[in-house]
Structure 1
Amino acid sequence: MIPVSCGDIAKAVGGELAGVDPAAVVDARVATDSREVVPGGLFVALPGERVDGHDFVPAVTEAGVTVSLTTRPIEGCPCVVVADTQTALGELARYVVAQLPDLTVIGLTGSQGKTSTKDLIAQLLTPYGATVAPVGSFNNEIGHPLTALQADRSTRFLVAEMGARHTGDINYLCRITPPKVGLVLNVGHSHIGEFGSQDAIAVAKGEMIENVVAGGTAVLNADDPRVAAMASRTQQSVRTFGEAPEADVRATGIKVDGEGRPSFTLHTDGQSFDVQLQLIGEHNVSNALAAATAALAVGLTPEQVANGLNTAARVSQARMEVTERADGVTVINDAYNANPDSVRAALKALVAIGRARGARTWAVLGEMLELGDTSSTEHDAVGRLAVRLDVNRLVAVGPGAKPIHLGASLEGSWGNESAYFDTIPEALELLRAELRGGDVVLVKSSKASNLRSLADALLEEGAS
């Protein structure tokens, strides 16, 4: 955060000062959680379902914040009073980013792979300049401005992951951080219940390309027709990635080793480099190509990109996070989120690892949320795919995931290989009884389905 006076903050967010010196300076963290405030920082009082941030303003004032953003004056507390604190947070971030003319913003979106790709881009860029990127999936109207506010005058790169649940969401986020490089990974089924169709999702994701600033670069997936078509939505330079022969940055000779890690030959600008990813799953090849293309667009050389990809590690938790228990059971925790495309990719990675090891494979799957009218069909298709891929055991958990079990049961010659349980404890009981050393277990669901707690339980039991 660059130092900003309270007077300038009030002007930037259209607020009024209450009980604060206009010359007082905010020069530390901006926080929406009262437990994270620091002296000299700023607190944003957001209303919540259970608590109201305004109730904590006296405490954060006592803790030393310079000022709080509030919707009403609070006696004895320095405040900038605004109509809506969430909107004001975005306006403050927009103001701060505008004060950093040397900052390069790399914006990215897509139906899946955003966080893994964001982590890759940040690792590629960090050796060549101070880089700010979101922690986890801070990609909405609150997390995005909080990330942007971490930038200061020493920051060279800001990697801005942007999610969308409605048309216009990415326009809003790009207004806060106008991208010099705008990247669209793919158009899948995530949030299709909100958007209604993949074509509608493409309209929303393409807002990223429309917001690339003059002289910038749009980075598009040549393997996804809906993404490739977005080239018509910008007048800026376009660079493509993928396995397609026409892609500017492409991969050939993809292989997956016994740990599920893909390798490939990277081709770009007439040069070729061998890449061995440390990430799990063949789907990460596309993420790596996207990250490479974005890094090349901001000035890295092909050799620097290839070297960076070879050493990049998994950063965010519960995304193809592989842990081997003391008893030899391997747990793949990919339970941060799920949609049909990411579940298919995870199942393929599971089978590749199992096949390479000669191991028995388990897929423990929960509900994929926000699929709307397609939910039952998509869950059924996942169950059938598990059979076709020859996953050894399938465990569906929770009422919303029951069609996974039904689809598997109706596909091919499966008998007792598939099981369904209403609750996580019931599923754990089966796993405790039947897992044996050498087995590989994938745990995947949407975040709200809470299968991450099941993965944590499996790992805790393995540790004990």
Structure 2
Amino acid sequence: MIALSLAEIAEVVGGQTHDIPDPSAQVTGPVVRDSREVEPGSLFVAFAGERVDGHDFAAAVVEAGAAAVLASRPVGVPAIVVADVQTALGALARHVVRKLGTTLVALTGSAGKTSTKDLIAQVLRRKAPTVFTPGSLNNEIGLPLTALSATEETRFLVLEMGARGIGHIRYLTDLTPPKIGLVLNVGTAHIGEFGGREQIAQAKGELVEALPPAEEGGAAILNADDPLVRAMASRTKAKVILFGESGEADVRAENVTLTDAGQPVFRLHTPSGASDVTMRLYGEHHVSNALAAAAVAHELGMSADEIATALSEAGSLSRWRMEVTERPDGVTVVNDAYNANPESMRAALRALAAMGKAAQAQGGRTWAVLGKMAELGDESLAEHDAVGRLAVRLNVGKLVAVGGREASWLQLGAYNEGSWGEESVHVSDAQAAIDLLRSQLRPGDVVLVKASRSVGLESVAQALLDSGNEGEVAAR
């Protein structure tokens, strides 16, 4: 964070200083909520959670070097006490962002936000110092913490914005007003909470409504291939830039193919020129993510060649998102277990099918180890059934549905589509899936692991990688 005195911070957040001998002392380190991340000069934000109360760590963080604690009550050490810690954190982020004057890029969408944010960051940081959301810290706490990590050297601030209801993104854009806003898609993630895709579109479109007008540099970057996103052009006064595979898109892809390993290859077209891209990421769905990143980079002055080079060299920065690892025995594990919704599940299955073509030529098989997709409301049965059916249509060799009711719907969908033998199986939990896979995997197999975060299927992927390292699976 930029250096601010404790007195200035107290004024910004409307707080009272307690046990601070020198209000002119400065916060020179990061703003953190995890006591393990405290550095000399930090500001520790004490949230009172259901299981852990940050106030209990106040003395320890000051002893570790924190300049002060942002708290909702006096804690016996230097503190700025406020009525509401979350509101104060947001006010501090708003103050710092406005003081810095950095170019702020915000993005949202039902699927692909984190992967696209990582691509944007990797492209832009070739041009200038860039700070971006780590992982998926895209809510009312994670977003201001990311914004506060910017410094005087930061030129681009890339923030992912999530929403679970109308007004959420409006709140986030008020904290950190963007100059460039990107909307990827409107899908069915969290549809059970929103009530329908039209409501999701209403919420996501709050991002473009918050942009400054075109004459002040505002730019709305919209997916030309998604009608609900494209319609958001009428909700903004910013310049509109379309991306996608549509011929009407300003930034588009042509001649899209996949390598034998399932990595996208395409010709990138921007208003400033065209250049070829060969991605390191897996799955055709990353083409749309790459085009979105290219549109942002073009708007910020990068050439087609610069963008193509950066996209071709970009990798995955966030854990458990299409992490591809080949074990010493030849089994490939695709860990996409961070989260799942119908759109991302379909994309992952298509990526698995593409990766499996080369494996099948060598006698390997494709495995889809899938769990429930949460927060789908009344659409849950139909969506799980559809994913099970798609696995069969894509000729995935083995479907392992893990968990309770939703997993049984996955397996039933596969059965009804024609998976009548041993091609699909329903197991009770992650350990049962691990036991099954350990007994049946053979060199050359490709295993996709994916479910909503609450299922915790990353444990399956990790167990498979540990098995390969320990040499538990013998060649057959």
Q: How does 1:43-442 map to 2 (within 5 A)?
A: 43-75=44-76, 77-101=77-101, 103-214=102-213, 215-269=217-271, 271-358=273-360, 359-399=364-404, 400-412=406-418, 414-442=420-448
Contact 1:189 1:198 in 2 (8 A): yes
Question: Bigger shift: 306-315 or 258-267?
Answer: 306-315
C-alpha deviation, 1:268, in angstroms? 1.5
Contact 1:258 1:357 in 2 (8 A): no
Question: Bigger shift: 146-155 or 13-22?
Answer: 13-22
Counterpart Cα distance in 1 of 2:187 and 2:407: 19
User: Who is 2:473 aligned against?
Assistant: none
C-alpha deviation, 1:356, in angstroms? 3.0
Counterpart Cα distance in 2 of 1:56 and 1:434: 48
The one-letter code of the counterpart of 2:49 is: G
Structure 1, unmatched stretches of 5+, are none
Counterpart Cα distance in 2 of 1:74 and 1:445: 41
Counterpart Cα distance in 1 of 2:448 and 2:461: 9
Give per-residue Cα distances to partners, 1:208-242, cap 9 Å, x unaligned: 11111232100000000000000001111000100
SS at match of 2:122: helix
SS at match of 2:374: coil
Counterpart Cα distance in 2 of 1:108 and 1:419: 38
Give per-residue Cα distances to partners, 1:270-307, cap 9 Å, x unaligned: 62211111110000000000000011111112221111
Counterpart Cα distance in 1 of 2:181 and 2:419: 47
Provide the alpha-carbon RMSD of the alignment.
1.0
Q: Percent identity?
A: 59
User: Who is 2:13 aligned against?
Assistant: 13
SS at match of 1:353: helix
Question: Bigger shift: 355-364 or 31-40?
Answer: 355-364
SS at match of 2:246: coil
C-alpha deviation, 1:176, in angstroms? 1.7
- Paired residue total: 462
Contact 1:368 1:401 in 2 (8 A): no
TM-score of the aligned structures, taking structure 1 as reference length? 0.98
The one-letter code of the counterpart of 2:29 is: A
Note closer, same or farther for the CA distance 1:292–1:407 as it changes in structure 2 (3 Å cut). Answer: same
Contact 2:342 2:387 in 1 (8 A): yes
C-alpha deviation, 1:173, in angstroms? 1.1
Contact 1:220 1:239 in 2 (8 A): yes
Structure 2, unmatched stretches of 5+, are 471-476
SS at match of 1:229: helix
The one-letter code of the counterpart of 1:157 is: F
C-alpha deviation, 1:376, in angstroms? 1.2
Contact 2:132 2:146 in 1 (8 A): yes
The one-letter code of the counterpart of 1:189 is: T
Counterpart Cα distance in 1 of 2:36 and 2:434: 34
Give per-residue Cα distances to partners, 1:348-389, cap 9 Å, x unaligned: 010111113323110000111111111111111100111111
TM-score of the aligned structures, taking structure 2 as reference length? 0.96
The one-letter code of the counterpart of 1:181 is: I
Counterpart Cα distance in 2 of 1:202 and 1:258: 36
Match of 1:462 among 458, 468, 472: 468
Counterpart Cα distance in 2 of 1:275 and 1:318: 24
The one-letter code of the counterpart of 2:192 is: G
Contact 2:139 2:162 in 1 (8 A): yes
C-alpha deviation, 1:413, in angstroms? 5.1
